[in-house]
Structure 1
Amino acid sequence: MRETRRGFISALAVAGATSLAGCLGELDLQTDERPDLDVKTLREVEALGSPAFPATTPAPVSPTFLEASKARAEELLDSVPATMDSAAVPNEAVRNIYAEAYEDATRRLDRASSEATPFETLRSLRSARGSAAMAKGTYEAAVGELTEDDVRGMAGSIRSDIESFSLSHRYLGDDPGTALVAHADVEDFLAAAARYLDRVGETGRYDRSAPRVGEMVDAVESSRASLEGARHLADRHRDTLSNPRDFGDLFQESASSLTALVADYRGEYPDTHRPLLDDFDTDLDDTPAKILLMETFVHMHFGVQQARDELRAGSPANSLLGAHAAERHRRAFEAARAAVRNDEYVSLDAATRVRDEKLAGLEALETADSTRSSSALTRRALTDVASRIDRGDSYLERSLANDTYRSARNALGEYAFVVFTAREAPGVSAWILGALRARLGDDDA
């Protein structure tokens, strides 16, 4: 889930975590007659590892640009000492906050050097620059060299640059699917630039203090890095085009129609998952089936919300990604419902069942990625889906010894979620791309 999907992430953090955690807690009340599962086998399931689906972008990120961004973070950090002198800054709390900020910036810089793709490095370096700016701003404010008003002055020119880029940005491309993903990334970085800058005027963790100035400088630097990233991605994507066309109207109109369509589909279901679960003859409480059905159902809802939120925010490419999420989870839910009616996932009697489901999830991801119809759009969806393997593993890692059945049940539910959603990703990509190309053909007629 990406940082700019505000409505989606907010809903997932609040509604999803609350409802799912509550339901899993309800499941955990039923402990009678649970089977004994082999812990050694479950440990081996976790040790199978995770799929390699790191975040990528169609735009070829320049190594020179990444080096410049890294140099900027290092410059910020090198301009201040590793520790504050107690004589210069008597306030111990400020010194401790500064030490934490400096250490955090160093850690983020190290992390950026080990990312799997240039796109992930780009995002990590933005974070490192913000953390380094936090340290620098805190130090300079503590020794009397920087004030909140000074930082507000820095923010003004960046806000103007954000507005200028937003107005001038064109959705250029030669293939609508590739352009969709490329411009979704541009939208993300641009939205992040505005969001970070808004934090300058908001109340932070620290009020009227040197660390508060540091927070503000962090926000300004993160905004600057985001805007630079948006420009770079747009420029680099444009440089790859042999016959560029402006897809702005195409994306806007398609996002509007497909958002309405997935919202209509969502309207055919109850508002909550409970009536859907009660429709089965089998009691699904304390089963992997319940987790699978709840996850696919809830994420269908979140996909619709993302599509709506991004459309309202003027980000049609990300709105289309939201429509993709809504439809693939709807299809996954329907397939999962059919499987449960066929008595699949309604019990967990052996640890080998968890192993087999994880392997099926890994296979489903690879199959979807290698299909002839695979595209940048499918790859982006699979990056999101693949992260759920890690979530399944985390259940086995965190609580296997304390509650073996619960850990195995939850992990199996997550792996099954991957199986069903990965299978649907290529078809839903074709659904999105078919709609785009059909509308594009009408425009050319």
Structure 2
Amino acid sequence: MSRTRRDVLASLAGVGVAGLAGCTALDAGASESDGPTLDPAALRAVRQLGSPAFPARVPAPIAEPYLERGRGRAREFLDSVPETMSPGEVPNEGVRNAYAEAYADAAAALAPSDTDESPFEALRGLRYARGAAAMAKGTYDAAVGDLTEADVRDEAAAVRADVESFRFGTRSLGDEADRALVVYEAVESLVAAAVRSLDNADEYGRYADSAPRVGELLDAVESARASLDGARHVRDRYLATVADPIDFTDAFESTASSLAGVIEDRRAEYPEEGGLEAVIEGEGLDTEALESTPAKDLLVEAFVEVERGLRDARDGLRSGRFATALVGAHTAETHRRAFEDAVTAVKRGRYESVESAAAVRDAKLGALEALEAARSNGSNPHLTRRALVDIAYMVGRGDDYFRDDYYDDGDPRAARNALAQYATAEFAARETPDVSAWVLGTLAAERGGVGR
């Protein structure tokens, strides 16, 4: 990509070309004998390019009145209890302190956000706001004797029954595969969050046999209820837009099983023993020579995502979350291809070191370009964009290495780790549209080419 194109991307990302002109100039001031100088200000300027805007969303119309009702329920919980407990009302100081913390957390969760959330992100966030408010209410009501753990456990059993009824009663009905897959992966994710909230309430907790413990349990129950409400809303709002629904359930299952098998076979081509070091060495690379280089971090990061995607595919198949399994297969194959691309680049001598802040800047701009090119690809836009949400997050992780409290100014690890994150995002983004075509093409073949 030409320098002109990179400068255009830089200005679009939030900082003009003039604001970044110092990056290269600062590095150029170092003598060859001294080696490259990674000026802290130049590296912070890379972070100030900004992160790509890829908020999570779902191709179904989320209703604003639904979101407001969820916020209203949380506010009702909080409005029904006082801001503080008095010692006369609750003598136990530990309970009063726990309540004060819970109330503050709930108030913060309900405060207006200064970030631009998508409607789907706002829907997912309701479980935190409603859960936090329930924690405060449950703690107070238990402290004054109006609520017992047995009461909340009865509620938990009822919510769990509702979750299971919804889960077993929902089939993946929709209009076309690209849209339906993303919708039902979101629905499955919300249902899984509901189950996780209820399961965690039984296994973990900061408090035992106390009013705050009752609050924790009510938090879990309300979080689960909010997730279930969200899953139902997404499904129903989507189906309201579909005139003649197709049942994709069986095709999602068979395609996920088929693709997971293909990726398992491809994974078997890499060493199973010896961890990631063995995988890298199996590609003919010397891990000792690559130690403390962006190259090793890049290779490790890409292959870790292969394993994560495979795990999601396996878990989704086992639990009947077939859309989740398909998205997991997409993740695994995308990063497997990215890993192979990275191996080729490393063998050609790339990413052996961080030579300048300009090199880090160019790596980030390469990631931004690849993400935008993939997003602009017109084929299978919903699945591709769903995958890019996770990939774009890597750019933000790279930026985080330049926070003042992460590494000391000028620490070369910050630049190395950031560059590896940017490069991983670039390789994965470039592979994403083709993998989307592979997944949805296989799905169409499973269905006889109908309704792709």
TM-score under structure 2 length normalisation:
0.88
Gaps of 5+ in 1: 1-32
1:332 to 318, 338, 341: 338
Whether the aligned pair in 2 keeps the contact of 1:39 and 1:400 (CA below 8 Å) is no
Residue 448 of structure 2 corresponds to which residue in structure 1? 441
Alpha-carbon spacing, 1:229–1:306, altered in 2? closer, same or farther (3 Å): same
Residue 383 of structure 1 corresponds to which residue in structure 2? 389
Query: Does residue 425 in structure 1 map to residue 432 in structure 2?
Result: yes
Alpha-carbon spacing, 1:187–1:258, altered in 2? closer, same or farther (3 Å): same
Q: What letter matches 1:219 in structure 2? A: A
Residue 89 of structure 2 corresponds to which residue in structure 1? 88
Q: What letter matches 1:154 in structure 2? A: E
Residue 261 of structure 1 corresponds to which residue in structure 2? 262
2:423 to 413, 416, 421: 416
Question: 1:222, CA displacement in angstroms?
Answer: 0.8
Secondary structure of the equivalent of 2:192?
A: helix
Question: 1:313, CA displacement in angstroms?
Answer: 1.0
Residue 270 of structure 1 corresponds to which residue in structure 2? 271
Residue 239 of structure 2 corresponds to which residue in structure 1? 238
Secondary structure of the equivalent of 2:58?
A: coil
Whether the aligned pair in 2 keeps the contact of 1:262 and 1:323 (CA below 8 Å) is yes
Residue 228 of structure 1 corresponds to which residue in structure 2? 229
Q: Kindly report which structure 2 residues correspond to 1:71-220, keeping only aligned pairs within 5 A, or say none.
A: 71-110=72-111, 114-220=115-221
Alpha-carbon spacing, 1:128–1:174, altered in 2? closer, same or farther (3 Å): same
1:355 to 355, 361, 367: 361
Question: 1:224, CA displacement in angstroms?
Answer: 0.9
Question: Which range moves more in the overlay, 352-361 or 282-291?
Answer: 282-291
Gaps of 5+ in 2: 1-33
Secondary structure of the equivalent of 1:290?
A: helix
Alpha-carbon spacing, 1:231–1:347, altered in 2? closer, same or farther (3 Å): same
- CA–CA separation in structure 2 for the residues paired with 1:133 and 1:332: 44
- CA–CA separation in structure 2 for the residues paired with 1:217 and 1:432: 40
Q: What letter matches 1:368 in structure 2? A: A
Give deviations 1:127-156, integer Å, cap 9, x for gaps.
Answer: 100000000000011111111011112122
Residue 370 of structure 1 corresponds to which residue in structure 2? 376
- CA–CA separation in structure 2 for the residues paired with 1:412 and 1:276: 21
- CA–CA separation in structure 2 for the residues paired with 1:50 and 1:310: 30
Residue 4 of structure 2 corresponds to which residue in structure 1? none
Alpha-carbon spacing, 1:395–1:200, altered in 2? closer, same or farther (3 Å): closer
- CA–CA separation in structure 1 for the residues paired with 2:234 and 2:146: 35
Give deviations 1:309-330, integer Å, cap 9, x for gaps.
Answer: 1110110000001000000000
Secondary structure of the equivalent of 2:54?
A: coil
- CA–CA separation in structure 2 for the residues paired with 1:281 and 1:67: 56
- CA–CA separation in structure 1 for the residues paired with 2:217 and 2:104: 18
Q: What letter matches 1:308 in structure 2? A: R
- CA–CA separation in structure 2 for the residues paired with 1:115 and 1:108: 15
Question: 1:40, CA displacement in angstroms?
Answer: 1.9
Question: Which range moves more in the overlay, 331-340 or 275-284?
Answer: 275-284
Question: Which range moves more in the overlay, 267-276 or 321-330?
Answer: 267-276
Matched residue count: 412
Secondary structure of the equivalent of 1:206?
A: coil
Question: 1:195, CA displacement in angstroms?
Answer: 2.1
Alpha-carbon spacing, 1:39–1:202, altered in 2? closer, same or farther (3 Å): closer
- CA–CA separation in structure 1 for the residues paired with 2:408 and 2:158: 55
Secondary structure of the equivalent of 1:396?
A: coil
- CA–CA separation in structure 2 for the residues paired with 1:266 and 1:393: 31
Whether the aligned pair in 1 keeps the contact of 2:39 and 2:410 (CA below 8 Å) is no
Question: Which range moves more in the overlay, 282-291 or 233-242?
Answer: 282-291
CA RMSD of aligned residues (A): 1.7
Residue 323 of structure 2 corresponds to which residue in structure 1? 317
- CA–CA separation in structure 1 for the residues paired with 2:286 and 2:171: 54
Q: What letter matches 2:416 in structure 1? A: R
Alpha-carbon spacing, 1:234–1:112, altered in 2? closer, same or farther (3 Å): farther
Question: Which range moves more in the overlay, 395-404 or 167-176?
Answer: 395-404
Query: Does residue 280 in structure 1 map to residue 289 in structure 2?
Result: no
Whether the aligned pair in 1 keeps the contact of 2:178 and 2:380 (CA below 8 Å) is no
Q: What letter matches 2:442 in structure 1? A: A
Question: 1:41, CA displacement in angstroms?
Answer: 1.1
Secondary structure of the equivalent of 1:292?
A: helix
Residue 55 of structure 1 corresponds to which residue in structure 2? 56
Of all paired residues, the percent bearing the same amino acid is 53
Question: 1:281, CA displacement in angstroms?
Answer: 5.8
Whether the aligned pair in 2 keeps the contact of 1:59 and 1:182 (CA below 8 Å) is yes
Q: What letter matches 2:390 in structure 1? A: D
Residue 5 of structure 1 corresponds to which residue in structure 2? none
- CA–CA separation in structure 2 for the residues paired with 1:402 and 1:305: 37
Secondary structure of the equivalent of 1:345?
A: coil
Whether the aligned pair in 2 keeps the contact of 1:400 and 1:408 (CA below 8 Å) is no
